[in-house]
Structure 1
Amino acid sequence: MKFLVAFCVFGVVVCANAQIFGRGEPQRGHGHMPHQNSDQERRAQEMVGRCQRKELATESDMSEFSQQKKPTTKTGKCLHACLMETVGLVSNGKLSVEKSVEFMSRMAHGNNELVKIVREISENCETITDPDRCELAFKIMECTEEGIQKRQDEMRKFMPRQQQEFNH
């Protein structure tokens, strides 16, 4: 399963990344109008651009991000920290369980079992600390990825088919 799935489960940021860089199709048929998706994509692109400029992320960092690879540089990790902070997934130096659940609730389309899994993974990762905000974001990403890996069979049944194929 691709690294970025961990991030995707917890927020719109990286799901939007998949759309920004042409990976996957916007989900239709869940009460979203097409113009909402393009508006979400535009806002996500703007947010990524702001964080890229703020963190001085390089083309290599952006390439890793667009290819859904783990960040390998300090600026790449800081790019992810900026995105997580911007959407409220990281606040006061830790993962926000409630924000993770809030994002997933919007994406899960009423699937309470998936939301429950995300809550459990988030609660396991909320204890992670690091005085360096970039390392903190990276550690949270690794923790969520590990939690998803452990429960991937359980989670797979909730993912759209094309996303399952993309993530293998």
Structure 2
Amino acid sequence: MLKYWLIVFIIIKADCVIDRFPRLTKCINREHPNKEEIDSFKRKEIPKTEAGKCLLACYLESRGLLTSSGRFSPQGASRLAANVYPGNIVKTGHARHILSHCGAVVKSENNSCELATKLAHCTTTLSEQFKL
């Protein structure tokens, strides 16, 4: 199973541990995933079920990576990348490049749950190439 390391790593690292759980809890309450879908999310696996995909979309929205209308937010992505690698211009640049490229790839997707999943696939592929 593919894991979406970069996208979740960026978000979770940007969150403090205490703040992360209320965001996830809110999304669980909104999307109603089952236990396996929640556990899969916590293992950073790319979701396959509709509820799992929507849980990911909700979480990405809560972190500013998606807008409230379910679109990719380049500004939110840039902020998150900068928060993850403060002081490391090269890694911040790579993360911004990956998120920008993947945002363009998913631009035509209208379903936020599918968009989040495609974004996860794209960032996984590119993060391996950039060794992030």
Q: TM-score, normalised by structure 1?
A: 0.69
What residue ranges of structure 1 are gaps of 5+ in the alignment? 17-36, 156-168
Alignment of 1:25-64 (within 5 A): 40-64=16-40
Give the CA RMSD over aligned residues: 1.9
Once the two structures are superposed, what CA deviation does each residue of 1:90-134 show, in whole Å capped at 9, x if it has no partner? 125432222222112122121011111112112211221312110
For 1:62 and 1:106, locate their aligned partners in 2 and report how far apart those are by CA, in whole Å. 26
Larger relative contact order (CA 8 Å, sep ≥ 6): 2
Are 1:132 and 2:111 counterparts? yes
Q: Is the 8 A contact 2:10 2:84 kept in 1?
A: no
- What letter matches 2:53 in structure 1? K
For 1:107 and 1:123, locate their aligned partners in 2 and report how far apart those are by CA, in whole Å. 16
For 1:53 and 1:8, locate their aligned partners in 2 and report how far apart those are by CA, in whole Å. 20
Are 1:112 and 2:93 counterparts? no
What residue ranges of structure 2 are gaps of 5+ in the alignment? none
Deviation at 1:8, TM superposition (A): 2.9
Identity %: 23
Alignment of 1:24-103 (within 5 A): 40-91=16-67, 92-103=69-80
> What residue is the counterpart of 1:6 in the other structure?
6
- What letter matches 2:85 in structure 1? A
- What letter matches 1:94 in structure 2? R
Higher CA-based Rg: 1
Change beyond 3 A, Cα 1:9–1:63: closer
Q: Is the 8 A contact 1:10 1:100 kept in 2?
A: no
Deviation at 1:9, TM superposition (A): 4.2
